[in-house]
Every structure is written in structure tokens, then in C-alpha cells.
Amino acid sequence: MCSPQESGMTALSARMLTRSRSLGPGAGLRGCREEPGPLRRREAAAEARKSHSPVKRPRKAQRLRVAYEGSDSEKGEGAEPLKVPVWEPQDWQQQLVNIRAMRNKKDAPVDHLGTEHCYDSSAPPKVRRYQVLLSLMLSSQTKDQVTAGAMQRLRARGLTVDSILQTDDATLGKLIYPVGFWRSKVKYIKQTSAILQQHYGGDIPASVAELVALPGVGPKMAHLAMAVAWGTVSGIAVDTHVHRIANRLRWTKKATKSPEETRAALEEWLPRELWHEINGLLVGFGQQTCLPVRPRCHTCLNQALCPAAQGL
């Protein structure tokens, strides 16, 4: 027989076995699991937040744009060239204002006897242009009064390409005398007129390059012909007056020895909108005030501003 103590333990074991079978498999493990504490609950909540937060994409690296000056071969056609400071004469603007003031009456020989006044304004355009060119050819080394007289005599006989080619050299010489180098000019006028008839239909070329290729036509004549005959400013027309005055005023970076050298020096700095005006302005100023010999500095408004006047 079992003792009362053994009988009690047997009964307790039987009750636990019966309960375990009634709850099913695993009931014993579930019954022994501990309730989660506050720390485990916070960790679980944190894990849940991580699982529902949006996925962060890696940040795209930004490129740093660096500007640099490329070589000539790397620059495109649209690239603007670097601006280089342009030399300009001291006080040139005030000197120009003063010259305009001294020339405001427009009463110098060039103002009423110059190329613009030597052609027949009623003639057809082609004939007008031809007469402009001839007056320029005659004007070289010749005073305006003498050129105007020669043009008047030529026009009285009908001044066209055909009429000049039909005139013998002796008669033509008498008509243009006493212009400077009149014998050479007879030859040049005949040669140029023949070229115009054969290659330009009696008209004159419309470019400086073609004009200077004609016998007896220089750069000054070509630029004036472009301006007066064609209404195009192709460059500064520099004659002895413009050459002399530009050097006296120090309008060239260094002293120049020829009108063509002076033209190139002036065009380097003088604003293009003044190119058309400067020839007539300075020619008249040279005829009346800034004379080749014994210039009238005492009446010149630029006496205090002119470097040449300081040495006189």
C-alpha cells in the first residue's frame, strides 16, 4: 500500500496530465512563456517603424562646373574675342568739337568745289558715278579750284565714258590743264575709261579693291568714290591735309610717313561713325587754319591742346 503522501502526489500528477491533454499539444510551453516587459515592447515598436518607413535612395553626386578659358582651337566660332583696351589720343574729343566749331560756316574751298559738287546731278546714275571718279583722279596734287574748272570744261562737252574715249589726247590735255601731272592723268583717264567700258558696262566698280586696280586711282580716291558715288563708308579718305593735321594733333600712336599709313592708324581707334565726316572736316580746316606753312595757330581753338602748337 502507498503512504498517504505518495497517494497525494499521484493524484496531483494525474490531474496535470489530464489538463495537458485537454488543452492540446504545446499547451505546456505556452503556459510557461513570460509576458513581454516594457523594454521588449519598445524594441518591437521600433522594429515595426523601421519596416514601414520609406526606403532612402542614395543621394546623386552633383557635378561641379568649372569655367576656364580654352585655347584658340577649343573655342567655337560664336565665342567673343577678349576685348583689348584701344589706344586713343589725349583730348581728341575736345579737339574735334573745336574743329567743328571753326568749320561751322562751311566756307572752305572743299565745301563748294569738292568732289560732291563737281558732277552733273541731273545725269543718269551711271554717268554721275563716272564723273565722280574722274573728278577724284583730277584732284590728286591739285587745288579744288583747279579741279572744279577742269571738270566744268569737260562737262561742257558731255562727260561720259564714250565721249572721253572719242577725245584725242591733245584735246583732253588742253581741257584738264593746269591740273597737277596733267600729262600722266590724260593717259590714266583714257586707260581707266576703256576698262570701265569693257568690263563694267560704262559704270565704275563698287569695291575698293577693284577701284584701286584702275590706272591712276589710289586708296584715298577709292574710299571717296565709295562714299560719294555708292553711298558706302569703306574707310577714311586721307589726303595731304588729313595726313598733316593728324600728325600735328598726335592722332596717330606714332608719327606716320604717308597718307595710307595715317589712314590705317586712324581707323584703329577713331569710331566708325566719324569716318565719313572726318575727311571734309579736316580738309577744310587745313585749307583755312592749319595751313601747311605758317599755320594760323593764334586763331585756332585748339592752340592750348595741340602738341605741335606748343613747339611754335
What type of residue sits at position 229? A
Give CA–CA dist 176/152, Å, rounded: 9
515598436: which residue's cell?
A: 45
- The Cβ of residue 20 has, within 10 Å, a number of other Cβ atoms equal to 14
> Does residue 220 carry a catalytic annotation?
yes
Catalytic residue among 75, 220, 253, 254: 220
Residues marked as catalytic: 220
